[in-house]
Amino acid sequence: MPPKIKITDEMIVETAARLTREKGFDKLNARALAKELGCSVQPIFRAFESMEELKKAVVAYVARDYQKFLMESISMEDQMIGLGFAYVSYAKKEKHFFQLLHMSDRLSLKSAGEFATVGINREIAQSMAQMTGLNLEKATLLYQGVFFTAHGIASMAATNHCDFSDEEVRSVLKSVFWGMVENLKRD
């Protein structure tokens, strides 16, 4: 009878994610992972054909963690500000995970206009149009402005360039949101 598997795929991915959280995705390698798991590299490469395959599993794990965090953090009464605030909060809490998902060369957007068509961004812009009374084109500009502001703050937080308080973040996001709504309604 073959020996029982002691190191599972799940253990490998969770440990790799923990290493990414602590040291960054660029520091993840088979030797460091094996050392953390207390084994040789053989169980890692039994479960995953290559480090690239393992890294894809880690990115998926981090993306699920991020989605869960957002869903738990968003205030229903103020969705757009809540979404931006949750985005910044995740960057503060999970610096390396945030960098992996939102500051790596994995992203390939060529323009701000392209941003509005990716993933759930179009749905968010449609929701903002209903909430503010703006048409979809203007609501898309509003979403871009608030998101790019949140991304700037989050990027500074994730790279230790600032430590804004929660109140400061909310204040900036609200000012940008309502300032843009007012300007877009005038146009």
pLDDT score recorded for residue 22:
93
With a CB cutoff of 8 Å and minimum separation 6, the contacts of 5 are 43
The CATH number given to 1-67 is: 1.10.10.60
What is the Rg, in whole angstroms, of the alpha carbon atoms belonging to the chain? 20
pLDDT in tens, 10-51: 999 999 999 999 999 999 999 999 999 999 999 999 999 999
Please spell the DSSP secondary structure of the chain, one letter per residue: -PPPP-S-HHHHHHHHHHHHHHH-GGG--HHHHHHHHTS-SHHHHHH-SSHHHHHHHHHHHHHHHHHHHHHHH--STTHHHHHHHHHHHHHHH-HHHHHHHHSSTT-----HHHHTTSTTHHHHHHHHHHHH---HHHHHHHHHHHHHHHHHHHHHHHTTS----HHHHHHHHHHHHHHHHHHHHH-
Each residue of 127-157: pLDDT tens digit?
A: 888 888 999 899 889 988 998 999 999 999 9
- pLDDT for residue 2: 61
In the predicted model, what is the mean pLDDT of the chain? 87
End-to-end CA distance of the chain: 75
- Tokens for 93? 């809490």
Whether the per-residue pLDDT at 1 is higher than 60: the answer is no
Q: pTM for this structure?
A: 0.77
| Percent of the chain surpassing pLDDT 90 | 58
pLDDT score recorded for residue 106: 67
Q: What is the pLDDT of residues 66-103, one digit of tens each?
A: 888 877 766 544 777 888 898 999 999 999 999 998 88
In the chain, domain spans: 1-67, 74-187
Q: Of 56, 34, 35, whose CA–CA distance to 46 is shortest?
A: 34
Q: How far apart are CA 103 and CA 85, in angstroms?
A: 18
Q: Under a CB-based contact definition with an 8 Å cutoff, are residues 149 and 172 in contact?
A: yes
User: What pLDDT was estimated at residue 118?
Assistant: 73
